[in-house]
Amino acid sequence: MKKIALTLVAVSTLGLAACGGTTATNNTVANETDAMNAATETLENAATDVQNAAGNVTDAAANVADAATDTAADATAAAANATGNAAK
């Protein structure tokens, strides 16, 4: 993402330098640069959100696995207790 942002800034800077001095053109290029920078920031934020969501899914899966292990252990213990009680 950062390479894209740097490329956009570099291209925008070259475009601004090539304008050669008309205020209207320079303002237009500056506005478009701002818009590209905002779009790049939005993309970077979205990428961060996706990474965070993936981390949350991984954590949730680990929690489910832990709960399943605990439930299996509890069931095994309950069965052993029931067997022990029946033998008495």
Which letter does DSSP use for residue 19 in this model? Answer: T
Residue 3 corresponds to which amino acid? K
Residue 55 corresponds to which amino acid? G
Look at residue 41 in the predicted model and tell me its pLDDT: 92
Q: Which residues contact 16 (CB under 8 A, 6 or more apart)?
A: 26, 29, 30, 33
Q: pLDDT 10s digit of each residue in the chain, 88 long?
A: 566 665 666 666 666 565 566 888 888 888 998 999 999 999 999 999 999 999 999 999 999 999 999 999 999 988 888 886 666 6
* pTM, entire model: 0.54
Whether 16 and 32 have beta carbons less than 8 Å apart is answered as: no
